[in-house]
A and B are shown apart, each in its own frame.
Chain A
Amino acid sequence: MEFGPIFKALKKRKAFAALIILQVAITLTVMIIALLVTRATLKEWNLPSGLDHDNIVAVYPQIFEESLNLKQTVEDDLHKIKQIPGVQLITPATQIPFSAENLTDVFIEDTEKAQSFQTSVFNLDVNGVAVLGLQLKQGRHFEDTEVIYNDNGQNTQPAVVMISEQMAEALFAQENPVGRSIYLGKNQPPVEIIGVYSNFMNGERLNFVGQSYRSVIRPMVEYIQGVDPNYLIRVEPGQTEVLLEEIRGKLYQTQGRFIQGVEFLSRTQKRMYDGRGSRSLIMLAVSFVLLIITGLGISGLISFLVAQQKKQIGTRRALGAKKFQIIRYYLIENSMITGIGLLLGVILSLVFLIIMATQSNSQLIHVGWIITITLFIWLISLVSALHPAMRAAKVEPAIVTRGA
């Protein structure tokens, strides 16, 4: 093919070649960085929650008045909220799905060197599993008598727990977990697993390491000053902000407390993913605009080249070159130039990626993605070159016969 002549022709137009090379190199660098950072950011993003999060409300009350009796207040709250029309079930809760940040080390044996499984423990009362709408996969539900209520100072531990499917798999692989014992921390008494429920999202800390659904539900309510229980409420479908305001108003009837938030779990979920989502969106938008600009630029430059070379093209056509050969010429020429640019771009982006990876301690480089992005940009440059190349092919051979 015409590599030789193209190369010779290019040497005469170094400036143009250099402009395209630079443009392609930098565009590729930006695209690779933006997309790989986005990839790292969006890892484990927007996974199924396993919850009916539009119909569950989380309440975060905080009591600061020391003279208030915590146990009494919580019991009153539960009673009051249950009276509100639209509310179905309620449970006190230490942690809230999507925001569980307190991790517990769980062990399956009581030895010094036992392997630890990090997980989120949710302390709920007997309604807990129903409020969250979890399905029972194995074993049975809690019974009323199994729920432990610890008033200030008491420290009784429940004898039974339920665990999620993912937790069961992590702990016992394919074996039946029901009836087995686990330890919620070093030097803790063993607790018996009585049931396995369907997976639900715990929170960002475990989600980030790919253990989004590891959880344990413990039938316990504790009244400790300063560590107030939150509430999880199952509401009838179709409830709106009006209900949230009503709950807030009811709770504020008791003086000496602050209601940090009353929200649907869908909002908690939104908060969990927000930071990552919007950052990636900006990156993607930036790369998209850049791609358009580069495409226009390449197209513009080659159009100009074509306009300049009308006569040569005409001569070639007059000498018998077919239309597709002219198109091929420009596409090959363009690919040769972009090829150099792409190579430069890959090198440049690797340099930056390595700098960033050491700075933020994360693994960013992914060969498959880099190759795909590079091919994609090559394709874009071909597409942008196609239109001017086709115009070149339309040059009439007769043009040569005309005087200048």
Chain B
Amino acid sequence: MFLYSLKLAKANLKNRPGLTLLTISAIAIGLALLTTTTTMSYQSSKIPLLEESEKIQTVLIDSRDQNARDITDVRRTPRLTYQDTQNLFTDATFPVEKTYLWKSFTFLNDENGDAHPRQVRTMAGLSNFFTMFKVPFLYGSGWSKADDENATPVIVLSYKMNQHFFGGENSVGKTIRINSSTLTVVGVLANWKLAARFYDRSFSTARFDDVFVPSSLALEINIPRRISCWEKDSEFVQDFSRENVNGLKASECTWLNLWVKLEDENQAKQYIDYLAQYVSDQKSFGRFPREHQPTLLSIKEYSELNSTNNTTLFIFALLSVLFFLVCLINTVGILLAKYMGKVPEIALRRALGAKKHVILMQYLIEIGLISFIGGVVGVILSYFGLKGMMKVYIYQSDYTVTADAIQHLYQLDWIMISQALLIAVGSSLIVSLYPVWKMCNTAPAGHLKAQ
């Protein structure tokens, strides 16, 4: 019976090929846009370090002065001061895995100047950065704890920088320069597929760090720091960020990210209490003038906040959903118009004894077929749509990002493909169910008379 219905449905498709083509292309175009935008937001809201994303949390404490602007968005909480980072990091009363880091731009160059120097995104942090965040290595490894303490001149290169300066060879043991200081390569990263650069709270999805150095060394060779200074310190920003390390350490300028790994909610609560205690202790030294409750934000929470606050993607997503609806209504309208002409035929079949559900089935199969073909074409179109959006992004960034750095953001996967097909077929069937049902219910007699 099903095969018979399928045969009829297929014959029906060929009946008015122009109309069929129109409906298929309407579904395909609508779905292509929908899939393009949903894939983009799905890929860009992927959570980095997923399996640990609820455990690894960043510490947010507002140490600014009384006059500073209120924080309406928790993600805008400033980074930490050096004092707080050190106090919280070295204090052993709450034993927990933790690491801190800060960011800089430096110039990577080799002594003999064979390869052109590069301006590089630089992470200055601790040896456990690589283990805590599960960083994959191609050659060598991270530096040791002793290197943290001794400010040993060592460096870890990204895959890309190793390509540029060493042609992709194993460069462990070789030397390279940051600004005017010579460092020894101890490790080269494999292609680190991180969904977003979460650890410096930028959550950038397109630009990743090029080099990694011990924080102690970075301060010793005095690479510039990206810092924010408040009230009385603000006139020293230039000095503190480029020259005066000791002044910076003692100041209330904020520039460090502290991450802790907490096993469960219970431990997280205890840690927040511990932070609150720390803040109130510090208040007795005249610090933390603001009423402020320290908070923790896990990688997961942070990512979710980012993706729900992305206005551009929100507008595109909204428009594409509405667009798809119009295409859907259009398709169904055209199909129904076509079917209405078929009512006399239905009446005849009914009079000859065809069951209602058989006829119903036949039309639903036809709609299913059309929407499925539309879905497949739509997915293919969305592949090109995504390619196009990637080109637009690269153009927008004035070619400062390369295609392979952002490809992952514009990639269809099986989840997106099956979701698209499901939406196409499912929504078409649902929308057309009632009218088709009504059509099959018309009494045969009235139409037979006319024939």
Contacts and interface: CB of A to CB of B under 8 A. Distances in A.
Given A27-B326, A356-B311, A226 B224 contact: yes
Given A66-B180, A308-B340, A297 B329 contact: yes
Contacts of B329: 19, 22-23, 26, 297
Interface in B269-319: 309, 311-312, 314-316, 318-319
A304 B330 contact: no
Interface string B160-183: 000000000000000000011000
Interface string B320-331: 101101110110
B117 A290 contact: no
A286 interface: yes
A15 B327 CA distance: 17
Contacts of A19: 329, 332-333, 336
A8 to B, nearest CB: 20
A17 to B, nearest CB: 11
A11 interface: no
Interface in A12-31: 15-16, 19-20, 22-23, 26-27, 29-30
A72 interface: no
B326 A26 contact: yes
A250 interface: no
B425 interface: no
Interface in B386-425: 389, 392, 395-396, 398
A296 interface: yes
Contact of B29 (A255, A283, A289, A294): A289
B117 A30 contact: no
A30 B29 contact: no
Nearest to A291: B326
A292 to B, nearest CB: 9
Interface in B328-384: 329-330, 332-334, 336-338, 340-341
B323 A252 contact: no
A193 B258 CA distance: 50
A35 B326 CA distance: 18
Interface residues of B, number: 49
Interface string B413-451: 000000000000000000000010000000000000011
A183 B431 CA distance: 68
B119 interface: yes
Main secondary structure of the interface of B (DSSP, over half): helix
A255 B177 CA distance: 13
B242 interface: yes
Contact of A34 (B319, B336, B398): B319
Given A293-B330, A300-B333, A286 B319 contact: yes
Given A62-B107, A64-B107, A33 B315 contact: yes
A255 B334 contact: no
A154 interface: no
A278 B107 contact: no
B196 interface: no
B22 interface: yes
B332 to A, nearest CB: 7
Contact of B179 (A37, A65, A278, A283): A65
B337 A301 contact: yes
A111 B385 CA distance: 58
A260 interface: yes
For B107, B224, B322, B396, the residue with the greatest tally of chain A CB atoms inside 10 Å of its CB is B322
Contacts, number: 124
A114 interface: no
A249 to B, nearest CB: 11
A61 to B, nearest CB: 11
A271 to B, nearest CB: 4
B119 A258 contact: yes
Contacts of A258: 107, 109, 116-119
A274 B395 contact: yes
Given A22-B329, A255-B113, A278-B392, A64 B179 contact: yes
Given A255-B113, A304-B340, A293 B119 contact: no
A134 B312 CA distance: 38
B229 interface: no
Interface in B200-231: 224
A30 B33 CA distance: 13
Given A37-B315, A300-B334, A360-B311, A26 B322 contact: yes
B9 interface: no
A268 to B, nearest CB: 9
A33 B322 CA distance: 11
Given A62-B119, A404-B450, A290 B323 contact: yes
Contact of A359 (B33, B311, B327, B389): B311
Interface in A191-240: 225-226
B315 A257 contact: no
B119 A15 contact: no
Contacts of B332: 19
5 contacts: A19-B329, A30-B319, A64-B179, A307-B341, A404-B451
Interface of B: 22, 26, 29-30, 33, 106-107, 109, 113, 116-119, 179-180, 224, 242, 309, 311-312, 314-316, 318-320, 322-323, 325-327, 329-330, 332-334, 336-338, 340-341, 389, 392, 395-396, 398, 435, 450-451
Given A30-B323, A274-B395, 18 more contacts: A23-B333, A62-B119, A65-B179, A66-B180, A226-B242, A258-B118, A267-B398, A278-B392, A278-B396, A286-B33, A293-B326, A293-B327, A294-B326, A300-B330, A303-B337, A304-B341, A359-B314, A404-B450
Interface of A: 15-16, 19-20, 22-23, 26-27, 29-30, 33-34, 37, 62, 64-67, 225-226, 252, 255-260, 267, 270-271, 274-275, 278-279, 282-283, 286, 289-290, 293-294, 296-297, 300-301, 303-304, 307-308, 352, 356, 359-360, 404
